[in-house]
Structure 1
Amino acid sequence: MSREMDALVGRVANSLEALEAALYGLKQVRGTFTSADRSITVEVDGDGAVTSLRLAETVTSRQPAEVSQLILWACQQAAADATAQRSQVVAELNKSFPSGNVGGGPDSAGGGH
């Protein structure tokens, strides 16, 4: 192979490795949040789906509406944590590409032309 072809194959191999690492990283994302009083702990996956909800015995002394609001708030906080982690994975992926922008440029939706 020529040097140019070797360089191209090397860049493609590096890009593939970066994509595989990003996919693995995205699968590992878990956002968690525990309330200050430790009565509610929520874990969500990288898509924001709740994977774990733990309630302490102390929540039984609260009104159901209050508990439900606290659960929703805790879920939002855990999802924000997961979103931050996902952003880090994508940022690392972006660093590995010469253009520096894999998943989120203004034209990434494909419309508008």
Structure 2
Amino acid sequence: MVGSMDELEDRVRRQLYRFQDLADQMKAVRGRETSEDGAVMAEVDGNGALRDLHFSSAVSRMTPAEFEQAVVSTAAAAARNAFQRRADVVNRFNEEMAG
């Protein structure tokens, strides 16, 4: 229980700052993955939206189907990575708020 209005204000202020920190951390989440052969590198944000995509010269030796598969699977792996990072941020936040 809160003993005074000053203590209540301080507690609410700390929680507000923690929520702001959470929002900043969520915005900063990125997942990056490179295909096994190094041909494709994909980066996505915490929502899984593609933010960056790079290709090495190895893509010139791929068939269209191989290229498609490399892009899709690499981007999906980057998204899984980002989602795991986002979950870690939320779990840490929940643990701090519960404690």
Where structure 2 has 5 or more consecutive residues not aligned to the other structure, the ranges are none
**Number of the residue aligned with 1:28:** 28
Root-mean-square deviation over aligned CA pairs: 1.6
Cα contact 1:15–1:96 (8 A) shared by 2: no
Looking at structure 2, the residues matched to 54 and 65 of structure 1 have their Cα atoms a distance apart, in angstroms, of: 18
Identity %: 34
**Number of the residue aligned with 2:38:** 38
**Number of the residue aligned with 1:49:** 49
Q: Equivalent residues in 2 for 1:4-19 (5 A)?
A: 4-19=4-19
**Number of the residue aligned with 1:105:** none
Looking at structure 1, the residues matched to 33 and 6 of structure 2 have their Cα atoms a distance apart, in angstroms, of: 47
Looking at structure 1, the residues matched to 9 and 59 of structure 2 have their Cα atoms a distance apart, in angstroms, of: 58
Which runs of structure 1 show a deviation greater than 3 angstroms over 4 or more consecutive aligned residues? none
Looking at structure 1, the residues matched to 9 and 45 of structure 2 have their Cα atoms a distance apart, in angstroms, of: 35
Query: Which sits farther off after the overlay, 4-13 or 40-49?
Result: 4-13
TM-score (norm 2): 0.89
**Number of the residue aligned with 1:77:** 77
Cα contact 1:43–1:51 (8 A) shared by 2: yes
Cα deviations across residues 42-90 of structure 1 (Å, max 9, x unaligned)?
0011111111111111111111011101110001100011101111211
Q: Equivalent residues in 2 for 1:74-113 (5 A)?
A: 74-98=74-98
